[in-house]
Amino acid sequence: ILDGMLPLTQLQKLVGDTGATFANSFVASPLCCPSRSSILSGQYVHNHGAINNSVSGGCSSPGWQAGPEKESFITHFQKSGYSTFFAGKYLNSYGKPEAGGVQHIPPGWDSWLGLVGNSRYYNYSLSVNGTKEKHGDDYSQDYFTNVIRKRAYEFFNTAPRNKPFFMMLSTPASHEPNNFEPKYAPKFSNMTAPRTPNFNIPNGADKPWLLRQGVQHLSQDVIDIVDDVFRARLRTLLTVDDMIKDIFDILKEENIIDNTYVIFTSDNGYHMGQFSMPVDKRLPYETDIRVPLLISGPGISAGSIIKYATTNIDLAPTFLDLADLQIPNSMDGISLKPLLLGEEKEIRAEENVPLYEVLNKNLPFEQEKKEDKVDYNKKNVEEYRKSIWNDRAFLVEHFGLGAGKGENPGCENVPAGLVGCKPSLDCKCKDSFNSTYACIRQISISTDNVFCNWYVGEEFQEYYDLQKDPFQLNNTVKTLSTEAHHGLLHHLETLQNCAGDSCKLPEYDVNYI
């Protein structure tokens, strides 16, 4: 939402204008590995277990490999006869010795080109079908986005013509270190990061502990860095836009464009100076949890805008459903195919959800379990099944990391528990041990709100009605009625403990009482 789509003009023309754009697309976690694991598994973080970017935190860990990875969506494509190809960043800890090294090829991929570790543009290593390939800093040979594009060409040239294919391209852009192609250095030179109403504002007692630490106004030097990062991010995306055009050219040359779905999204958003936090993600605010989602392909109305709320746990079931493959019961998300194709289809099954939670969703908690209040007739259940997209609640989770006092070089005076602190950014830190939260995000025809519970260390809660306060300036949790607060907390706890079909909950209407 901070002008991130500005450089992607070819994407807009080739995918957005010919397909569907989702206006309310979110992530299950605003951090790389947990979010990517959700895309692959179709599960919330508490179900797939990759809670942060480290192996010890579940990222590409033996536990991930023994469990969710074996059931990732791509395994079902491969079993169904698809040629499958991956190129780019997989999971942040992929390729580490404790994660199986470069020899580990995630199941389901016929052709594998996986980046070892986190995003890099130069001086990186790849696993090429299990063999290590090192790259240096020669722009013409090593710029990673262009390497991905080149290997995609090779896949098209060698893939069997008599088989369907699934190709996943995962570029480092626009992740730091934000190395852009030299030819794009002049671009966006006069632009600065958007000065939103919440840009560089102080944080009082109504914001969580992490935001209250350190300086409450960024210095001009830090603001200059924020602007530099903003421009660099846009420049890296110009190469992504070039790659998208080239992929479409190949699809047209092969005469398969009319039989191919193209999906574009990201694993997290990004803040740039909002709430006096320099540059990063991880926070539960709109800048960090909203992502683009554009899908084109057969049966999708050109230029359509879909306003229903979606989250990236919906992607895996959507991929499978578009290919007419069965969606595993283990997936927490919902297929977007009915929205894309306008199909008359039951989007939600109720078998594992008590009917009182479905039909009496807006009753005060004390009344919810009085089953004599429930109308069990089939018509009500069917109407609810068809209305899930108009009335949806979903979960956003983050599990904070911290460090001991003195463990942030150059920022030794910051309190214990903070991590990601840099002197160049006024020692304003990215994360903390108690920056652990769960949020219930709700969007319907009449509702747009978020309720967050920070539950490690400092117990803290936030509530924002985004219809009235789109930049989340005023935490109004203390204005909620006891019944509304209790209902939201109960709904949130239900989502935190959900699995599979029980994750598909309606919103809790705070105005019902």
In this structure, the number of other CB atoms found within 10 A of the CB of residue 366 comes to 10
Residue listed under structure tokens 């879909």:
306
Burial class (CB in 10 A: 0-12, 13-18, 19+), 510: buried
- Residue 3 CA to residue 343 CA, distance in Å, equals 33
Single out the catalytic residue among 32, 421, 429, 498. 32
Closest CA to 497 of 346, 357, 312: 357
- Residue 82 CA to residue 76 CA, distance in Å, equals 9
Beta strands in 408-490 (DSSP E): 418-419, 431-432, 437-444, 448-454, 460-465
Chain-centroid distance, C-alpha 111: 25
- Residue 107 CA to residue 65 CA, distance in Å, equals 9
In this structure, the number of other CB atoms found within 10 A of the CB of residue 453 comes to 19
Residue 92 has φ and ψ, to the nearest 5°, of -55, -35
- Residue 358 CA to residue 355 CA, distance in Å, equals 5
Closest CA to 215 of 359, 380, 426, 14: 426
32 is catalytic: yes
| Residues contacting 329, CB < 8 A, separation 6+ | 500, 501
CB of 94 closer than 8 Å to CB of 117 = yes
Tell me the two tokens of residue 125.
Answer: 């290593």
CB of 193 closer than 8 Å to CB of 227 = yes
Positions marked catalytic:
32
